[in-house]
Amino acid sequence: METVREELIIPGLDHLGVLEGAAAFDQTVSIIRPNLPPWENVKDRFQKIYASGMITNHRTVAELEAVMADFLEVREVVALSSCTSGLILALKALGISGEVIVPSFTFSATGHAVFWAGAKPVFVDCDHRDWNISIESIRQAVSPDTAAILAVHIFGNPAPVLALEELARELCVPLLFDAAHGLGGAVGGKRIGGFGRAEIFSLSPTKLLTGGEGGLLATNDETLAGEIRFLRNYGNQGDYDCRELGLNARMTEFNAALVLEGLGLVEGEIRERARLAAVYRKELASLPGIIFQEVPAGNTHTWKDFTLVIEPASFGLDRNQVQALLGKENIQTKKYFYPPLHMQSAYKKLPHRMVRLNVTEWLTHNVLTLPLYSQLEENGIRRIAATLSALHHNAEKLK
């Protein structure tokens, strides 16, 4: 837990490290902090796994799948080594080989999975309010080769799932969700996990629920779940004569144990993050040039990330300047997502297509993700907000 200095920050240069005063924080405030379950509980489970001698894809994984199917209110959950492997296998299992429509404003793994599955991504724009995939942009991108839509719940803000389901039905293509950020989120009271043909979650360390590494594929399609269970085990159906090219995408028992013990913390973590996100928004509301991600009424954002836009003309400093200055105050931030998929070097060599990406371009050059997790507490959030305010008020001198 970071030590937060007691005295109040006044929006003035003398309290900022950038002018040789004391930095806003004595120690680095990291961008993430996993909320891990008590070691005692995890230890008991680890000991049992050790004693059984079965250390991968066994009883604990099966227990996790059942518990998560219950939690996500879906028929099937398949545990995997990562969200990336789950995305690849879902595309493979559905036999998708044409064009897959994906937002460009997302983490690299969304796009990588499309290429690894042997399909071609078509990058589309996002909505300027909720920053999720744009329905209009998908319509612009549709072609006779359109084979699937892969949407993302950006930062944990649920994508427009109902409109996407309607569009996928109209186009007769499968709809998948990269739900890496979405665990615990909901749309009109229905949990993320049950929309589209499948939703794939990540359990990597930056997520609200983590197994160290891991992924979960949630679906109401039992045939698809069965197929993924073979594919995660090299494609072996038991006789070693693989009919499909699978992967080793199994989850170990230890990862599953950590997730099972961590699940009970998720809803409290989301509630606390929502409360802290509201503190950020209140404290930053009067600063010009700060724009927040909109959450449609009735939806539950998981607040996996708290990302805002900094418009340089009105804030006085650009995103890169703000990031560098916050770094000097010992506040770690991230440019989630810069560069977006269509600007990544690896993709320039690979076949892809894109439509107009105006909102993506605006977001990618102006977004900054601030620290948000329950251990930071309200005084930490207020101090970060006050530091941002100080940067704005002293922008001319800091340029």
For ligand PLP, the closer of residues 83 and 372 by Cβ is 83
Between residues 25 and 177, which has the closer beta carbon with respect to ligand PLP?
Answer: 177
| 19 phi/psi in degrees, rounded to 5 | -115, 35
- Mask for 211-240, x = binds ligand PLP (CB under 6 A): ----x-------------------------
Nearest distance, CB of residue 368 and ligand PLP, angstroms: 16
Select the residue interacting with ligand PLP from 109, 183, 208, 317 (CB under 6 A): 109
Q: How far apart are CA 102 and CA 125, in angstroms?
A: 9
Enumerate residues 134-163 that contact ligand PLP by CB under 6 A: 152
* Residue 300: how many other CB atoms lie within 10 Å: 23
Nearer to ligand PLP (CB atom), residue 204 or residue 320: 204
Give the footprint of ligand PLP on residues 66-85 (CB under 6 A): 82-84
Q: What is the DSSP string of 191-211?
A: ETTSSSSEEEEE-STTSSS--
Residue 52 C-beta: closest distance to ligand PLP, Å: 26
Using the rule CB under 6 A, which residue among 60, 104, 106, 333 binds ligand PLP?
106
Q: Which stretch binds ligand PLP (CB under 6 A): 45-53, 107-115, 187-195, 232-240?
A: 107-115
CB of 37 or CB of 214, closer to ligand PLP:
214
Q: Which residues neighbour 127 within 8 Å (Cβ) at sequence distance 6 or greater?
A: 133, 134, 160, 359
- Between CA 295 and CA 185 the distance in angstroms is 11
Q: Which is it for strands 186-187 and 299-300: parallel, antiparallel or unpaired?
A: antiparallel
Cβ-proximal residues to 196 (8 Å cutoff; 6+ apart), any chain:
151, 161, 164, 165, 168, 174, 175, 176, 177
Does position 107 interact with ligand PLP (CB under 6 A)? The reply is: yes
Minimum CB separation of residue 161 from ligand PLP in Å reads 16
Asked whether the beta carbons of 253 and 234 are under 8 A apart, the reply is: no
Q: Name every residue whose Cβ is closer than 8 Å to that of residue 391 and which is 6 or more positions away in sequence.
A: 16, 316, 317, 322, 325, 326, 398
- Please report how close the Cβ of residue 154 comes to ligand PLP at its closest, in angstroms: 8
**Quick one: 96 or 200, whose CB is closer to ligand PLP?**
200
**Does residue 210 bind ligand PLP (CB under 6 A)?**
no
Question: How would you label 4-38 residue by residue, b for 16+ Cβ within 10 Å and e otherwise?
Answer: beeeebeeebebbbbeeeebbbeeebebbbbbebe
Give the nearest distance from C-beta 78 to ligand PLP in angstroms: 14
- Quote the least distance from Cβ 202 to ligand PLP, whole Å: 3
Q: Which residue has the tokens 């009271």?
A: 189
Contact with ligand PLP (CB under 6 A): which of 30, 56, 206, 220?
A: 206
Binding site for ligand PLP (CB under 6 A): 82-84, 106-107, 109-110, 152, 178, 180-181, 202, 204, 206, 215
